[in-house]
Structure 1
Amino acid sequence: MDPGLSPHTISNEFKRKTWKQTFLLSFQIVGVVYGQLSTAPLYVFGTVQESDTFSEEVVYELFSFIFWTLTIISLLKYAFIVLRADDDGEGGVFALYSLLCRHAKVGLLPNDRSSNEVMHYEAESPFKIKVESRARRAIEKHKSSHYILLFLALFGSCMTIGDGVLTPALSVLSASSGVQRSLSAITHRFSSSDHTQESVSKALERLSYWEDYILSFQASTLPFHFLCMMYLSRQACAILVFLFMLQHFGTRKIGFMFAPVIVVWLLLIGGVGAYNIFHWNIEIIYKIDPIYMLRFVRSIDIKRWRLLGSIILCVAGSEAMFAHLGHFSKKSIKITFICLIYPLLVLCYAGQAAYMSKNLHDEHFNHLREAMPHQWRHLFVALSLFASAVGSQASITASFSIINQCLALGCFPRVKVIHTSKKIHGQVYIPDVNWLLMILSLTVTISFQDMVKIGNATGLAVISGMLVTTSLMSLIIALYWEKNLTVSACFLLCFGIFEAAYLSACLLNFHKGAWYLVVLLALSMTIMLAWHYGTMKKYEFDLHNRVPVEWLTDFSPSLGVSRVPGIGFIYTDIVTGIPAFFSHFITNLPAFHQVLIFVSFKSLPVPYVEASRRYLIGRIGPKDYRIYRCIVRYGYCDGIRDTDDFEEQIIRSIGEFITMEQNNVETTDSSEGRMVVVGKPLPVGNALVSLNDNDTYMGPGNLVDNEAQISPVGDSMETDKDCSPVMRKKVRFMLPANSPKMQASIREELQALVDARESGSAYFLDQSHLVVRDGSNFLKRFLIKIYVVCDKNSRQPPVALKIPHAALVEVGMVNTI
């Protein structure tokens, strides 16, 4: 701090910096979070059949529904209530689920229940369970409620993924339909005159370079409308491919690229909406009266009720406000919505309704393009193509975020996750998922080519995800906020009934496109449930077949087990005992390394774990055996899996443990003894000192460096799968200079650790194969087969862990479950 600055000046500079950051985040938010919500006017009224809006009263009733749906769901529910339920700054369905896992003990994560005291923080930490209540006891007592909550979290995640498939197709197709109507208008104009086919071809040449391709099909022999549909489909597919190819740039860059487009788009539709209100029907302002909704309900029938399946699309993208909370600040999200998004959207929908009410007999009167003044339509068509691509960004990035959380909680097969921001850990990009979403989105676009059917499926995905959030939020109010059960019930009833009405309308459109979402749901839910089930069964097998520590420390000498120089890293899911695959290895090859380190990566139901509390180090057996256990705790949004110096951190943590063990340090008790929380700075001369050697060497070698470090399964960059030589920078450790602070026994053990590291490292991984026991039911066999297929085709642990091929030891076993 500059001593010449007064506290008042420092405070003002901090405020200016804070407001500047808020403004920049608000600018990015427009292009990332609110893109889908801002482009919804392209297809809300457009997905309504023209024959269903047969009178001004119907238009007024639908507009009243749009206004109050935006106000109740987007503004009241999400902006003012749900945003408050953040999990240490993170949002989304799994953020709510993780809060319930911590504060109501409903988690079904694959952890050893007997060693929860090892896995969780200490009493003063945020993991402390709150005072017992009747509701909390009831939920914790019934195991079925735990499975229901997990199912809700996975169901909400599947709806987010489904939205990531459908929204890009719907947005781009709805914008491209404006071009199709332009082509249809040209067709009608030319067909009503004496122009020849040659004149039609010349006109098309001025529209697009695709004409050369179209003419190769001999347009004179094909229906012209079919050619227009081919042109529309190719145009939409090209935009979709371009959109998904941009994803690797990351949320921040995409936000700055897309935000100006959405800002201009919002100003255009908002300004034209205000113009239409005064030009066509200024009385539309008074139609927000809820009495029009009551009239709609009073004269209800199945045909009219289906219209609500299109109206719910006006809030498509509201869930992104909460899902992207980890990408941006709560203040910037709320300010942008209240001051910019909400008022401009209300003006747009009001202006479109005003135009529709006075032009019911025009062709395509329910499309936003028709509500534009004639001199603005060309600009609208061009801008809508860009805005529709941007509008899909929110659903795509939300899919990345939710899958990243599913990965950390053991509910999705292993895929590579790339963190695109060093400052904001929640901004991720998943290449495999990105291309899969692109293929599915292209399939929808080519197969349906009908925005009404895609809109029906999207509406079902939107309202289903909102109902999941409402259900989980009611439990958050009762169990986390500790409000009265009456408050929780009121929240569930007020929003749940409103959303259930929309859900019933979307289900009526099941045969008109909504069935495709059910197919996506069945596919994604089967994969998630199978992976979670297989992971749980594999963990239970490892837990039941683990070997006591005494087998390794007391009986191994009598078995003739010899010690070899170097360090052996044994990766296992269990945090107590000796894993069965390692005992199987020792039985068949009676030898293990001079230093053994049992490493376990454990995800906790929190977004982040502090670096100073991440590593738990303990000792197995007597000191002279040099066997340690390292438990790495991380949150579902932590970037620890991208760390390039992970093995160095483990070695350093064990060095700190050796130094701290005999002192009064912070510990946790386990069945094997003390587990020391390491990571806090130690006094100089009390820990290992890393020495970076500038020399490099070639070849696979056994020396471990900071470019072949270890990280938990899933997120780090891919390494070469072959054994080709790789240039690596060597990182060595040395003992601190002679200091009276360090005891001779500690120095001796630290020296043994350094010598073992210099001798090389080996990595032991379990390569178990799950086999279903004879006589098992069909469901169990089916889930295990799906798990085996996913396990074989997902990212392999040696690649994800960056293990040198020459130092890898995979131990195969057959697990019968």
Structure 2
Amino acid sequence: MTQTKTPGETAGVVATGQSSHKSNEFRMLVLGALGVVYGDIGTSPIYAFRQALSVRPGGPQANFEAEVLGLLSLIIWALTITVTVKYIFFVTRADNKGEGGTLSLMSLAASSFAKAPGWIIAIGVVGAALFFGDAIITPAISVLSAVEGVTVVAPDLERWVVPVTFVIIIGVFMVQRFGTAGVSKVFGPVTAVWFLVMGVVGLSHIVVNPQVLLALNPAYGILFLATHPDLAALVLGAVFLAVTGVEGLYVDLGHFGRKPIVTAWFIMVFPCLLLNYFGQGAYVLSHEPGSVDHPFFEMVPAWGLIPMIGLATCATIIASQAVITGAYSLTQQAIALNLLPRMTVLHTSETQSGQIYMPQVNVFLMIFVLLLVVSFGSSGELSNAYGIAVSGVMLVTVVLLGIVMWRVWKWHPIATLMVMTPFLLIDLGFFAANVTKLFQGGWVPAAVAVVLATLMSTWMSGRRRLAEKTRREEVPLEFLVENLAKKRPTVVPGTAIFLTSDIEGAPTALLHSLKHYKVLHEQNVILTVLTSSAPRVPDDEKVLIDAYNDLFYRVIITFGYMETPNIPKALGLARKLGWKFDIMSTSFFLSRRSLKPSHKRGLIRYWQDKMFMRLARNATDATEYFHIPTGRVVEIGTQVIL
């Protein structure tokens, strides 16, 4: 007997299949978010509570319980207010068309003004520079803290901690060129196991000593700070380590979306972090004051200690991978926004455009991470250097978020102040606490941030001066086009594309070509590449073509700041607009400027110009950056005195 299905039944089967597919896809996004987004904050329990205990004043048993509960309460409420309330409910909603991160937030805030104020750009530059300071410390402190766990089993192996960490970090950076596509498949499952194991271990000690749950009362934390005002800065600096990595929720927003990130936080990350911190507190309370050196590893049963150290090492490598990938993405955004010179960007995935590898950034990060490992030698010493960069980035985020609330979300200024002031005060408190550690190691990320901010500001001001000087010496494009239409030089077959960043002026390469060759191609395209404040630009909005006459065309290509500029591919889209583009009959004319410093300027300006020239010389060639076929490029050189 043959059964038939009605159209309604068939539609029901299809809908069920689509729903099942979407459900599986969502679960994979949640699992991926666990590995990439929460890898950093997920390794904080290894060292955060231990570091907080190390600044405890000590004393009789009578004060011991209140002090431990106070420190634990501060950590629990820091996680709750900073991560759950501020980032989950507010910051992750401030996406720039799906993308997150300091520069995305800066672009979103700047877009609310007719002309972006310089101070907003400055705040974004500082935030980006501080992120790089965080990016060199996270791999060092994470891997060091995990490898140090072996000293709990065999104290004699302490001298091997730095060499083993050194080898692991070199390995992490060496495999970056192969991309994260394959490795990332195991990130989520490994991190999920990591959180579950942390939660189970913590729960086993909470059951034995449930009084530790009293730390849920914020009064214990407030009382600790009130009774130890001289230790407040040190304690807040240590407590802050529990929320390091929170910026990952926002930086990786575009990779996973808000819903999977929020879901992962509430169903696994937050509960397991709470259980582990409470478990560490319960374990410490069940021992004599000062007898526990490394609560995270010591509370693990003896039979599970070696596997836990191995799992911790894997988790810290994943945390390192996440921040390294974030550094690549942030650099790419900075280049697109003209905050940094062009650098080589290699795509490591055919399907995921966000998976990139940047050799120069990779070498920079590896050298500094290894220097930190050798210089500090332990996660405890390195923790002093950790907070300034992260707390600075969080402070920048809350300031830019306030601007977005007011100008983009159209909140009333009073409502914005009421919501943001508590967050601002907390972030200022964390930042002030970490500044006190400036001379104990905090100068490292601060110095990195100052150097990078100086490079960015030098690059921006140098580009601006160069553009102004070039504009003064150029001929207005419309004037040139009108004159050439009246008196045409010899016309040769083919298409010539002249790249220029100035929409109004005639390209230098065109002027010199006419001067020396005295010919024009039958099609001459004045091409300008712009970067949008949006992360990505749809294909149907990417190319704008305007004809001056039958000889000259104006083409403007707009890429999003998250996109890799590919001129030939973008010009292929022009076919839909009626322009028949043949790459094999096209020549690209580029201006190659030889920069010279002006000795008439002051000493500071002279060295700024020298720095800008060095950055310009080391920038990736425009041909490579824009993916133009090298065989179709003609470069015409000129000298410019800054």
Please list the CA deviations of residues 32-90 of structure 1 after superposition, one character each: whole Å capped at 9, or x if unmatched. Answer: 11111111111102334636352332211111111111000111111111111111111
Contact 1:458 1:514 in 2 (8 A): yes
Which range is displaced more, 763-772 or 4-13?
Answer: 4-13
Aligned counterpart in structure 1 of residue 33 of structure 2, from 29, 32, 43 = 29
Contact 1:542 1:579 in 2 (8 A): no
Contact 1:22 1:329 in 2 (8 A): no
Matched, 1:545 2:473: yes
Corresponding position of 2:81: 72
1:416 and 1:449, CA in 2 relative to 1: closer, same or farther beyond 3 A? same
1:617 and 1:298, CA in 2 relative to 1: closer, same or farther beyond 3 A? same
1:806 and 1:91, CA in 2 relative to 1: closer, same or farther beyond 3 A? closer
Structure 1 gaps, min length 5: 108-145, 188-227, 658-687, 691-702, 706-756
Matched, 1:14 2:21: no
Matched, 1:82 2:91: yes
Contact 1:29 1:255 in 2 (8 A): no
1:473 and 1:557, CA in 2 relative to 1: closer, same or farther beyond 3 A? closer
Please list the CA deviations of residues 556-611 of structure 1 after superposition, one character each: whole Å capped at 9, or x if unmatched. Answer: 48888322222211111012231234323422432232221111110010111110
In structure 1, what is the Cα distance between the partners aligned to 2:336 and 2:32?
27
Matched, 1:432 2:360: yes
1:497 and 1:553, CA in 2 relative to 1: closer, same or farther beyond 3 A? closer
Corresponding position of 2:186: 257
Contact 1:597 1:628 in 2 (8 A): yes
In structure 2, what is the Cα distance between the partners aligned to 1:87 and 1:555?
44
Corresponding position of 2:61: none
Q: Give the alignment of 1:681-696 within 5 angstroms.
A: 688=580
Please list the CA deviations of residues 226-253 of structure 1 after superposition, one character each: whole Å capped at 9, or x if unmatched. Answer: xx55521110011112222333444443
Aligned counterpart in structure 2 of residue 793 of structure 1, from 618, 624, 629 = 618
Corresponding position of 1:38: 42
Q: Give the alignment of 1:182-197 within 5 angstroms.
A: 182-184=153-155, 187=156
Corresponding position of 1:148: 119
Matched, 1:179 2:150: yes
In structure 1, what is the Cα distance between the partners aligned to 2:607 and 2:163?
39
Corresponding position of 2:578: 656
Corresponding position of 1:234: 163
Q: Secondary structure at the match of 1:318?
A: coil
Corresponding position of 1:60: 69
Contact 1:770 1:784 in 2 (8 A): no
1:802 and 1:398, CA in 2 relative to 1: closer, same or farther beyond 3 A? closer
Which structure has the bigger radius of gyration? 1
In structure 2, what is the Cα distance between the partners aligned to 1:241 and 1:445?
11
Aligned counterpart in structure 1 of residue 137 of structure 2, from 158, 166, 170 = 166
In structure 1, what is the Cα distance between the partners aligned to 2:336 and 2:120?
17
Matched, 1:307 2:268: no
In structure 2, what is the Cα distance between the partners aligned to 1:364 and 1:772?
61
1:173 and 1:4, CA in 2 relative to 1: closer, same or farther beyond 3 A? same
Please list the CA deviations of residues 334-382 of structure 1 after superposition, one character each: whole Å capped at 9, or x if unmatched. Answer: 1000110000000000110111223244555344112222232222222
Deviation at 1:165, TM superposition (A): 0.9
Corresponding position of 2:383: 455
In structure 1, what is the Cα distance between the partners aligned to 2:347 and 2:259?
24
In structure 1, what is the Cα distance between the partners aligned to 2:402 and 2:359?
35
In structure 2, what is the Cα distance between the partners aligned to 1:104 and 1:557?
40
Deviation at 1:638, TM superposition (A): 2.5
Which range is displaced more, 365-374 or 73-82?
Answer: 365-374
Q: Give the alignment of 1:385-396 within 5 angstroms.
A: 385-396=313-324
* TM-score (normalizing by structure 1): 0.73
1:106 and 1:43, CA in 2 relative to 1: closer, same or farther beyond 3 A? farther
In structure 1, what is the Cα distance between the partners aligned to 2:348 and 2:451?
28
In structure 2, what is the Cα distance between the partners aligned to 1:791 and 1:453?
38
Which range is displaced more, 300-309 or 342-351?
Answer: 300-309
In structure 2, what is the Cα distance between the partners aligned to 1:252 and 1:88?
24
AA aligned to 2:492 is: V
Deviation at 1:774, TM superposition (A): 4.1
Matched, 1:270 2:279: no
Please list the CA deviations of residues 365-419 of structure 1 after superposition, one character each: whole Å capped at 9, or x if unmatched. Answer: 3441122222322222222111111122221222122111111111112112234
Matched, 1:573 2:398: no
AA aligned to 2:605 is: K
Q: Secondary structure at the match of 2:344?
A: coil
Percent of matched pairs sharing the same residue = 27
AA aligned to 2:49 is: F
Matched, 1:628 2:545: no
In structure 2, what is the Cα distance between the partners aligned to 1:799 and 1:239?
33
CA RMSD in angstroms, aligned pairs only: 2.4
In structure 2, what is the Cα distance between the partners aligned to 1:51 and 1:608?
47
Contact 1:53 1:59 in 2 (8 A): no
AA aligned to 1:87 is: N
Deviation at 1:15, TM superposition (A): 2.4
AA aligned to 2:557 is: V
Contact 2:130 2:389 in 1 (8 A): yes
Matched, 1:104 2:113: yes
Deviation at 1:459, TM superposition (A): 1.5
Deviation at 1:177, TM superposition (A): 1.0
Corresponding position of 2:529: 601
Please list the CA deviations of residues 708-765 of structure 1 after superposition, one character each: whole Å capped at 9, or x if unmatched. Answer: xxxxxxxxxxxxxxxxxxxxxxxxxxxxxxxxxxxxxxxxxxxxxxxxx3xxx32211
In structure 2, what is the Cα distance between the partners aligned to 1:499 and 1:77?
11
- The structure whose residues are more often helix, as a share, is 2
Q: Secondary structure at the match of 1:327?
A: helix
